Amino acid sequence: MQKGKGRTSRIRRRKLCGSSESRGVNESHKSEFIELRKWLKARKFQDSNLAPACFPGTGRGLMSQTS
């Protein structure tokens, strides 16, 4: 049996090697994102699993908080 090829090993590797730059940085505290949330709420958009984020290379966007 090969060691380090299973699901648990992959999860551990993602935790150790994963950086916040590759996943996007949560920026929900900034005023422009607060205004976006208010705008979406006024239009009856409801999705609590999305958070505004800044991604390297592509810029700003919405990031899912769950997989």
Q: Residue 50: which H helix or E strand, with range?
A: strand 50-55
Q: What is the pLDDT of residues 17-47, one digit of tens each?
A: 655 445 566 677 778 778 887 888 899 887 7
Our count of domains for the chain comes to 1
Q: Who wins on pLDDT, 5 or 38?
A: 38
pLDDT of residue 24: 64
Residue 27 belongs to domain spanning: 7-64
Q: Is the pLDDT of residue 66 over 70?
A: yes
Q: Is the pLDDT of residue 67 over 60?
A: yes
Burial class (CB within 10 angstroms; exposed 0-12, middle 13-18, buried 19+) of 53: buried
How many other CB atoms are there within 10 angstroms of residue 39's CB atom?
A: 10
**Would residue 2 count as lying in a domain?**
no
What integer is the mean pLDDT of 40-58? 81
**What's this model's pTM, rounded to 2 decimal places?**
0.46
Tell me if 53 sits within 8 A of 65, measured CB to CB.
no
Compute the distance between CA of residue 28 and CA of residue 54 in angstroms, rounded to an integer.
10
**Would residue 29 count as lying in a domain?**
yes
